[in-house]
Amino acid sequence: DNRVSIAIDGPAGAGKSTVARLVAERLGYIYIDTGAMYRAVTLQALMDKININDETALTRVAVDVDIALRVNEKGHTRVYLNSLDVSKEIRSPEVSRHVSLVSRVPGVRKRMTQLQREMAARCSVVMEGRDIGTHVLPDADMKFFLTASVEERARRRHAELQERGYTLSFAEIVEDIKQRDNIDASRAVAPLKPAPDAEIIDCSIMTVEQVVNLIVTRVSGRF
């Protein structure tokens, strides 16, 4: 078996998605954005007007929903919910505000973890999320944990959201990030934390290119 799995975890806005996508591109592996999967479940739950505290109903949504990640010709992942492209909708502030509440539900996590393990069993992957190194792929070949200061992460999110046409204030984004980190790190099942064998990379003063180069160098040294 010569499949390789790379786990990239970290808090909201640390630049994980961009880094993971570029690392996968450089190595020729498949990039899997697990946050997009939790966001897709959240979007479905919001569309179905499900009570955000109803764990049974949220679990049912996660089990019934059909989520697919497909890479388009530009190398970007598109997210499909029951065959509809929802790549834009899952990034809305409303989904961002609710996603941590949906992803703390054990039944939701169980289903997503199962799907993620199935994906990793098929090919070499760069899988990005919160609990990949600790929980989804504890035997991943290499693990990285990307962090950055809250201000730096909020600054990046702010720029990213503005580009997408959303007009949230900087203060609102700081609040959203802090709240999500808090819920993600304190939940009972698979909380956000570095795996003991993960390399921690503080991205506050590094460029995306520097982080990508660092990870690719580490991986190339081993495979």
Give 96 or 212: the residue with its C-beta nearer to ligand C5P: 96
Provide the minimum distance between the beta carbon of 221 and ligand C5P in the complex, in angstroms, as a whole number. 26
3-class DSSP assignment, residue 55: helix
Please indicate if the annotation marks 18 as binding a ligand: yes
Provide the minimum distance between the beta carbon of 96 and ligand C5P in the complex, in angstroms, as a whole number. 7
Give 29 or 181: the residue with its C-beta nearer to ligand C5P: 181
101 with 41: CB under 8 angstroms?
A: no
Please indicate if the annotation marks 16 as binding a ligand: yes
Please indicate if the annotation marks 15 as binding a ligand: yes
Residues that bind ligand C5P (CB under 6 A): 12, 34-35, 38-39, 99-100, 103, 129-132, 180, 184
Give 116 or 222: the residue with its C-beta nearer to ligand C5P: 116
Please indicate if the annotation marks 149 as binding a ligand: no
69 with 32: CB under 8 angstroms?
A: yes
Closest Cα to residue 61, out of 41, 34, 79, 47? Answer: 41
Please indicate if the annotation marks 220 as binding a ligand: no
Provide the minimum distance between the beta carbon of 3 and ligand C5P in the complex, in angstroms, as a whole number. 20
Give 201 or 217: the residue with its C-beta nearer to ligand C5P: 201
The helices-and-strands tally (H runs, E runs) of the chain is 8, 8
Q: How many CB atoms lie within 10 A of CB 45?
A: 26
Provide the minimum distance between the beta carbon of 60 and ligand C5P in the complex, in angstroms, as a whole number. 18
Provide the minimum distance between the beta carbon of 123 and ligand C5P in the complex, in angstroms, as a whole number. 19
Phi-psi region of 28 (alpha: psi -120 to 50; beta: other; left: phi over 0): left
Alpha-carbon span 54 to 51, nearest angstrom:
5
Please indicate if the annotation marks 140 as binding a ligand: no
Alpha-carbon span 18 to 74, nearest angstrom:
14
Provide the minimum distance between the beta carbon of 101 and ligand C5P in the complex, in angstroms, as a whole number. 8
Please indicate if the annotation marks 165 as binding a ligand: no
Give 86 or 184: the residue with its C-beta nearer to ligand C5P: 184
Give 159 or 220: the residue with its C-beta nearer to ligand C5P: 159
66 with 81: CB under 8 angstroms?
A: yes
Which amino acid, one-letter code, is at 78? R
Length of the chain: 223
Closest Cα to residue 160, out of 146, 176, 147, 145? Answer: 176
Binding site feature residues for ATP: 10-18
Q: Binding-site residues, please?
A: 10-18
